[in-house]
Amino acid sequence: HLSLLRLLEFLLYFYFLLDFSTSLISIANPNMNRNGGLKSFSINMSPPSKAIVYERHGSPDSVTRVVELPPVEVRENDVCVRMIAAPINPSDINQIEGVYPVRPSLPAIGGQEGVGQVYTVGSRVKFLSPGDWVIPSPLSSGTWQTYVVKEEGAWHKIDKMCPIEYAATITVNPLTALRMLEDFVDLNSGDSVVQNGATSMVGQCIIQLARLRGISSINIIRDRAGSDDAKEKLKALGADKVFSESQLNVKNFKSLLGNSPEPILGFNCVGGNVASLVVKTLREGGTMVTYGAMSKKPITMSTTSFIFKDLSLRGFWLQRWMSLDKVKECRKMIDYLIG
């Protein structure tokens, strides 16, 4: 359902390919024979692996390193997966820096999502077979390594026809967009939403999902070089209106909206004064959902708008939603987004 652009503002990709790596940090496969095939290992052991590890919190440039890991036992309910690709999300960086609310114990392997191919399975595994493509679902730490061993229940099988870059990034940003569209306001065809940070991956997903449902979108982007090109790309995805921050920061901003209905739902991932641009476009009784703070500044909004428009301010964090025993629903959404 989503035709995601490769313009992913905050995402970089690693590729753990059989013969080479196109990642920022090169990870060679240690298990290749001279003919390009995989060396033989015990069915009960994973191949040795390489991983991006950090033993303390700090800047990723200074605290991460590539290490070689020994083979791991593949127990009867385990699945060994050879990772194909994994993204670098802002939350991954925040975990390494030690500022994210959820952090794995140290030492830790980076990464929370990605796509891989089943290498071998334990004797009691029922639903996965070597060669299947899988993603960790729900999110699981440690995807920045060449081989990952986890219980069968930690993996979700997907269609091999899904493009690698889509499969590797389906779990965090597209799910965030889908949940925010469904969980806060009962939206109907003909309604309108507004968002800042529209060029982000979540923003692009919101545009496309809204379009599929007959919901128009008003999108706010930063003032910077290339903003005209960014506007055209967002419109190609289905955006109805795209404005720079300075365009909306005027008294007669409503005249810019034309015949677009006043939005009942808004999304804020920037914070600071830019959040007020979302607030002032909302209609009476509207809701603004905050899911990010890229400016690292507190939300600023008009007291007048808050009082006289009876607005609601909400927050959304995907990991909290996933912690509410949402595995089946999460996987159903992934299949919907990929399909």
Q: Enumerate the active-site residues.
A: 100
Enumerate residues 6+ apart whose C-beta is below 8 A from 155: 79, 81, 118, 128, 134, 135, 136, 137
Q: Return the closest-CA partner of residue 219 out of 195, 201, 244.
A: 195
Whole-angstrom distance, CA of residue 38 vs CA of residue 130: 13
Query: What letter would DSSP give residue 307?
Result: H
Enumerate residues 6+ apart whose C-beta is below 8 A from 186: none
Indicate the length of the chain as a whole number: 339
Query: What letter would DSSP give residue 154?
Result: G
Question: With contact defined as beta carbons under 8 Å apart, do 46 and 149 qualify?
Answer: yes
Question: What are the respective helix, strand and coil percentages of the chain, to the nearest 5?
Answer: 30, 25, 50
